[in-house]
């Protein structure tokens, strides 16, 4: 009996290691490109995948703007990144994506104080219930609307600095997302209800918004030498579930401990989209595992992408 258990345990262990090294592992972004003289903005870069991305880009010599909502958490990240990269051009600038006014102030401040923008990385994301300052559903507001306005306000600067890029971090979860335009128009939200499942579905919907946004943005940027990409970073161990209730935490913790990868892995596909040479013809596309991927029909629906853009403009007071 004991032999059997030990044998079973060893077998499971080997299966796990094989799984970890094959299915779960993400290829590394291999380029050694240096980035001196270039400026990057990364939203939500005080922790998680955004911070790991900021550190890599800092090591390559770029000026990195940490666009974050919490001064203390952001300044501690700035210090960590400076120390670990030896790069002193790491700057915190306040941005709360849950407030259109804050997005506008950030853009104004940035455009006044910084001469360049080479790559904008829309990374911040939440799976938390609540509303933004503008009474927009929080998940929709932070994951899509705030980034939509931020991008639009920075486009002229990106065009001046072309070739330049916009990288928006989505998730494979977009595959189960849908867009309920009626709900967006009447509720300023992607769905009704705040159960754990309801929140997860809103998250999936918001990640479909990220893909559709990138699809439409690419069309609007044709001929400008500004290109844009969206991606799934992988299943990564971060703080994103920190607001989940105890039951969810008890279910999620063993899964993330065993099957989710470290944040360095989560940065790889972002780095690929931001830095890989020769992918300009793939503007508007969705990436995963440092490679372009086919997307579901709903994620390349021209009419839906255009409609989402126009509704987003209206919610931001741009139209
Ligand atoms: N982890 C995964 O397995 C996974 C999988 C697929 C996709 N993603 C995507 O990857 C991106 C990064 O997620 P993560 O896992 O690294 O999550 P995380 O550790 O929770 O980091 C999220 C970041 O977003 C920031 N943020 C939240 N609300 C904000 C707001 N209103 N204004 C400005 N910044 C705000 C957070 O700031 P605070 O620290 O102040 O809260 C934090 O810096 C997200 O877009 C997520 O959807 C993650
Ligand atoms: C885009 O880049 C190409 C190649 O460098 C250049 O010839 C072209 O003038 C650029 N277009 C614009 C609109 O800047």
Selected catalytic residue, list 20, 174, 203, 229: 203
The helix or strand, by DSSP H or E, that contains position 157, with its residue range, turns out to be helix 147-160
- Is residue 4 over pLDDT 90? no
At 319 the pLDDT is: 81
Residue 250, judged by CB atoms within 10 A of its CB (0-12, 13-18, 19+), counts as exposed
Pocket of ligand 1, beta carbon within 6 A: 43-44, 46-50, 68-70, 73, 95-98, 123-126, 142, 169, 171, 232-233, 235-236, 238-240
Contact 217, 166 (CB under 8 A): yes
At 130 the pLDDT is: 97
The helix or strand, by DSSP H or E, that contains position 92, with its residue range, turns out to be strand 90-94
pTM of the model: 0.96
- Which strands sit side by side in the sheet containing 63-68, from one edge to the other? 90-94, 63-68, 39-43, 119-122, 164-169, 226-232, 286-288, 291-293
Longest CA–CA separation in the chain, Å: 72
Distance of CA 280 to the CA centre of its chain: 19
pLDDT per position as a tens digit, 41-88: 999 999 999 999 999 999 999 999 999 999 999 999 999 999 999 999
pLDDT per position as a tens digit, 130-174: 999 999 999 999 999 999 999 999 999 999 999 999 999 999 999
- List the structure tokens of 247: 């039951």
Residue found under tokens 């609007």? 220
Pairing state between β 291-293 and 286-288:
antiparallel
Which stretch of 118-132, 217-231, 248-262 has the lowest confidence by average pLDDT? 248-262
- Among residues 61, 63, 52, the alpha carbon closest in space to that of 34 is found at 61
pLDDT per position as a tens digit, 270-306: 999 999 999 999 999 999 999 999 999 999 999 999 9
pLDDT, averaged across the chain:
95
Angle at the Cα of 145 from the Cα atoms of 140 and 146, rounded to 5 degrees: 110
Minimum CA distance residue for ligand 2 atom 6: 225
* Nearest ligand to the CA atom of 226: 2
The helix or strand, by DSSP H or E, that contains position 272, with its residue range, turns out to be helix 263-275
Q: Where are the domains of the chain?
A: 31-316
The CATH superfamily of 31-316 is NAD(P)-binding Rossmann-like Domain (3.40.50.720)
At 225 the pLDDT is: 98
């Amino acid at each position: 009996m004991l032999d059997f258990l030990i044998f079973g345990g060893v077998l499971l262990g080997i299966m796990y290691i094989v799984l970890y090294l094959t299915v779960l592992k993400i290829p590394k972004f291999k380029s050694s490109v240096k980035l001196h003289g270039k400026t990057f903005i990364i939203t939500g870069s005080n922790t998680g995948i955004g911070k790991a991305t900021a550190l890599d880009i800092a090591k390559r010599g770029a000026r990195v703007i940490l666009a974050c909502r919490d001064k203390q958490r952001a300044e501690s990240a700035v210090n960590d990144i400076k120390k670990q990269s030896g790069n002193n051009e790491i700057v915190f600038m306040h941005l709360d994506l849950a407030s259109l006014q804050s997005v506008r102030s950030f853009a104004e401040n940035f455009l006044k104080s910084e001469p360049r923008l080479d790559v904008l990385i829309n990374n911040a994301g939440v799976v938390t219930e609540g509303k933004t300052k503008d009474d927009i559903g929080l998940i929709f507001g932070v994951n899509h609307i705030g980034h939509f306005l931020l991008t639009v306000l920075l486009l002229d600067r990106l065009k001046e600095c072309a070739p330049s890029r916009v990288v928006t971090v989505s998730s494979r979860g977009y595959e189960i997302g849908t867009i309920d335009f009626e709900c967006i128009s009447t509720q300023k939200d992607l769905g009704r209800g705040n159960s754990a499942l309801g929140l997860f579905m809103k998250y999936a919907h918001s990640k479909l918004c990220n893909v559709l946004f990138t699809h439409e943005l690419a069309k609007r940027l044709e001929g400008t030498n500004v290109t844009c990409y969206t991606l799934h970073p992988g299943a990564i161990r971060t703080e994103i579930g920190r607001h989940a209730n105890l039951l969810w935490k008890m279910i999620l913790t063993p899964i993330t401990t065993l099957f989710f990868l470290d944040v360095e892995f989560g940065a790889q596909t972002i780095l690929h989209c931001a830095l890989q040479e020769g992918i300009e013809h793939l503007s508007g596309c969705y990436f995963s595992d440092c490679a372009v991927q086919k997307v579901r029909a709903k994620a390349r629906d021209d009419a839906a992408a255009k409609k989402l853009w126009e509704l987003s403009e209206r919610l931001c007071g741009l139209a």
